[in-house]
Amino acid sequence: MNYIGSKLSLLQFLEESIDKVAGKDCRTFCDLFAGTGAVGLHFKKKGYKVIANDIQFYSYALNRHYIGNHKPLKFSGLVKDIPNLEEVNVTDRAVVVCDHLSDLQGTEGFIFNNYCLGGTNLSAEPRQYFSDDNGKKCDAIRQKIESWKKTDLLNDDEYYFLLTTLLESIDKYANTAAVYGAFLKKLKKSAQKSIVLTPAMLTINDQEHLVFNKDVNSLAKEIEGDILYLDPPYNQRQYATNYHLLETIAKYDNPEIHGKTGLREYSAQKSLYCSRKEVKSAFKDLILSAKAKYIFLSYNNEGLMSAGDVKEIMSLRGKYGFFTKEYGRFKADKSEKRNYKSNRTTEYLHYVVCNS
């Protein structure tokens, strides 16, 4: 998923830098602003027990699958619903289940009625986040996943695998420049194609992992780990508004929505890390309460906190240092006509080796 602040292309830099600082005895890696789960997944593959967390529910769903799921998915409950599933090898069943969902007849549900032209063109706020067909398909697939879950035909592992698959797949057909803060007037090419579910990748290993959907400052007081990796928002752009549609597809809770973009209420997910006024005190509270041997922070040279602020706060816990790397800007910025002088930024990985 093309996600604001994704660290997918910085994984090698993160791994090499972290390896230079953290001792070989580290077993637990906590990714507490986990987003797409890319960083946690990388360290899960390296053999760490991962603790992942994010305040957004769509992110919880992604991490509950990419991090939390670590055993094969059998879909035993669906053998009566899906013809021939029983005869299919366990390793191939996910593909058959996804094909079955992709072939469902579309239905006019919450997404079609509120975010597609066919459902909104007579309303005060016509919206076109998806083609009519993809909106109806999304509704049909989401409703089927929920009814399977409600009737105990899916276990939690299978449920979050399917939610992740739907979120990752529908995102590829969205009629947006990059994020859901706005939709395009005309259906772009990729949005005109019919949605086909691509099964989300499953990483099997023998570690149990933990995944949370909490505010980071309260979770940090409850958990402990060897390495704490923090990747907060860098600026004032709230993830709750930029990804509101993914949140609604993940929760499918028929929320009250308003305005041109059909935004859901998000006061409980408003991040202090996006507030110039609040960020330093939230970060200080987090650093002081974190129970870890090493704390790492990804941030860039244009973030709400200066490198000096970060150093001052992290040094409260022990020996401070940092690594840097030049990095390309998130693509959506261009379409939003932001007035940046350069399309490269300096990515920092700050760290502190904690005294206690």
- Binding stretches for ligand SAM (CB under 6 A): 3, 5-7, 33-36, 38-39, 53-56, 59, 215-216, 231-233, 239, 271, 273
Residue 52 contacts residue 60 (beta carbons within 8 Å): no
C-alpha 199: how far from chain center = 17
Q: What torsion, rounded to 10 degrees, do the Cα atoms 93, 97, 100, 106 define?
A: -170
One-letter amino acid identity for 181? G
Integer angstrom CA distances of residue 314 from 227, 259, 320: 14, 40, 7
- Closer to ligand SAM by Cβ: residue 148 or 283: 283
Nearer to ligand SAM, 7 or 93 (CB): 7
Calpha distance 244→262 (Å, rounded): 9
CA distance 135 to 94: 23
Q: How far, in Å, CA of 157 to CA of 108, rounded?
A: 28
Least separation in angstroms between residue 58's CB and ligand SAM is 9
Q: Are 153 and 78 in contact (CB under 8 A)?
A: yes
**Least spacing, CB of residue 140 vs ligand SAM, in Å:** 28
Give the whole-angstrom CA distance, residue 232 versus residue 312. Answer: 17
Buried b (16+ CB within 10 A) or exposed e, 332-354: bbeeeeeeeeeeebebbbbbbeb
Q: Are 96 and 82 in contact (CB under 8 A)?
A: yes
Closest CB to ligand SAM among residues 60, 159? 60
The distance of closest approach from Cβ of residue 297 to ligand SAM in the complex, given in angstroms and rounded to an integer, is 11
Both tokens of 121, joined, read 């063109």
Q: How far is the CB of 228 from ligand SAM (least distance, A)?
A: 13
Question: Residue 54 or 158: which CB sits closer to ligand SAM?
Answer: 54
Provide the minimum distance between the beta carbon of 218 and ligand SAM in the complex, in angstroms, as a whole number: 9
Shortest Cβ distance from residue 302 to ligand SAM (Å)? 13
Q: How far is the CB of 274 from ligand SAM (least distance, A)?
A: 7
Q: What is the smallest separation between the CB atom of 139 and ligand SAM, expressed in angstroms?
A: 25
> In angstroms, what is the minimal distance from the CB of 168 to ligand SAM?
12
DSSP state of 104: S
What is the H or E stretch that residue 167 is in?
A: helix 156-171
Determine contact, residues 47/195, Cβ cutoff 8 Å.
no
In the complex with ligand SAM, which residue's Cβ is closer, 215 or 312? 215
Query: Looking at beta carbons only, is 100 or 172 nearer to ligand SAM?
Result: 172
C-beta of 160 vs 273, nearer to ligand SAM: 273
Return the number of the residue (96 or 200) whose C-beta is nearest ligand SAM.
200
CB of 132 or CB of 215, closer to ligand SAM = 215
The span from the CA of 260 to the CA of 268, in Å, is 21
Largest Cα separation within the chain, whole Å, is 62
